[in-house]
Amino acid sequence: MPIKYPSARAGLDGASGDTTAPVADKPGVNPESAEVAGLDALELGPRRDKGALGKRVWRSAWPKFLAIAIVLLIWQIAVWSEWKPIYVLPSPATVFTDLGNVITTGDFWDGVRVTMTRAFTGFLLAVVIGTVIGALVSQFAPLRAAIGSLITGLQTMPSIMWFPLAILLFQLSESAILFVVVLGAAPSVANGLISGIDYVPRTWLRVGQVLGMRGFAKYRHLILPASLPSFISGLKQGWAFSWRSLMAGELLVIVPGALSIGVRMQQARDLSDSSLVICYIIVVLVIGILIDVLFNAADNQLRKRWGLLS
């Protein structure tokens, strides 16, 4: 609903007695305090109404639905045009029916569990290692000179390049997959922390100094919270890298007995079941998106608290 006269609205809001304003509870105690309270009320301005929750959800959701609809339409047109035989490129309807069947089986969820366990273990390990390395590098200048650029180099390295070595080192085992996942994600986490620490504003550091923060207290109360935004984007990027490495790993390193999503996808390919392959692509995509939504929610929450979002 558009507001025609924002200033009139501000006046009304003020007059209708915002209960949090200190003017209300000490009317005319002395002119000085009224001046202060009045100025505060004026400077804070009226609260803006963001609209109902349903409306906001819809506003952010419809472009996404539209994008999905367009992709499905292009896919369907490709099928109709008989660009490829139907058993190679099945129609969306076939795939979604198959997907519906697959996700109602217990086997499928066992696969998801195996994959997600690997993803979380690898990611957590990468977070721990990346955080420790990041903290050390940002703390000691010689260490930064030594491995600072190496970290960035590792970050740009395609993780699939590590698999031959990982297989030689660990054979076809969980460790091989974990090794690559950690190598993929840890540099991003470390870099996120390093840049977060590097960009702590000087004035905050001065305040820390004035308040007498030293050693651990300085980290606990100043450096770590101040570097949190950058750290979170490092985590987010680290997750993306570890998820990618994991998917590559599951296709290459088939650990006997562990029927992960990657293995199931490989099996579907061996059976030339295009529809099932596409099902698993969709599953991997959806998991990736869901995790990203979680990271974004954390990020937005932080920005809101810090006042970086309006």
Question: Residues in the site for other proteins, rule: CB under 8 A?
Answer: 20-22, 32-33, 35-37, 39-40, 43-44, 201, 203-204, 206-207, 209-213, 217, 221-222, 225-226, 228, 305-307
User: Nearer to other proteins by C-beta: 148 or 229?
Assistant: 229
Least distance in Å: CB of 67 to other proteins? 33
Residue among 186, 223, 171, 179 nearest 202 (CA): 223
Least distance CB 127 / other proteins (angstroms): 20
Taking the complex as a whole, how short is the minimal distance between the CB of residue 225 and other proteins, in angstroms? 4
Burial class (CB in 10 A: 0-12, 13-18, 19+), 1: exposed
Alpha-carbon torsion angle 203, 207, 213, 216, nearest 10: -40
Q: Which CB atom, from 26 or from 64, has the smaller least distance to other proteins?
A: 26
> Residue length, the chain?
310
> Nearest distance from residue 39's CB to other proteins, in Å?
6
- Taking phi over 0 as left and psi of -120 to 50 as alpha, with beta for the rest, 214 belongs to beta
Q: How far is the CB of 306 from other proteins (least distance, A)?
A: 4
CB of 219 to other proteins, least distance (A): 13
Taking the least distance from each CB to other proteins, the nearer of 123 and 231 is: 231
218 or 269: CB nearest other proteins: 218
Q: What is the dihedral of CA 140, 184, 198, 293, to 10 degrees?
A: -150
Query: Could you tell me if 106 and 166 are in contact, meaning their C-beta atoms sit under 8 angstroms apart?
Result: no
Q: Which is nearer to other proteins, 22 or 153 (CB)?
A: 22
- Judged by beta carbon, residue 38 or residue 92, the one nearer other proteins is 38
For the bound state, the minimum distance from the C-beta of residue 291 to other proteins, rounded and expressed in Å, comes to 24
Interior CA angle at 221 toward 219 and 227, to 5°? 65
Nearer to other proteins among residue 113 and residue 220 (C-beta): 220
CB 279 within 8 A of CB 270: no
User: CA 130, CA 141: separation in Å to the nearest integer?
Assistant: 17
Give least dist CB 113 to other proteins, A.
35
26 vs 113, beta carbon nearer other proteins: 26
Q: Which helix (H) or strand (E) holds 286?
A: helix 274-306
Of the candidates 122, 120, 115, the residue with the CA atom closest to the CA atom of residue 260: 115
Angle at 286 between CA 240 and CA 112, to 5 degrees: 85
Tokens for 165, please give them. Answer: 């070595």
- Beta-carbon contacts of residue 36 (< 8 Å; ≥ 6 apart): none
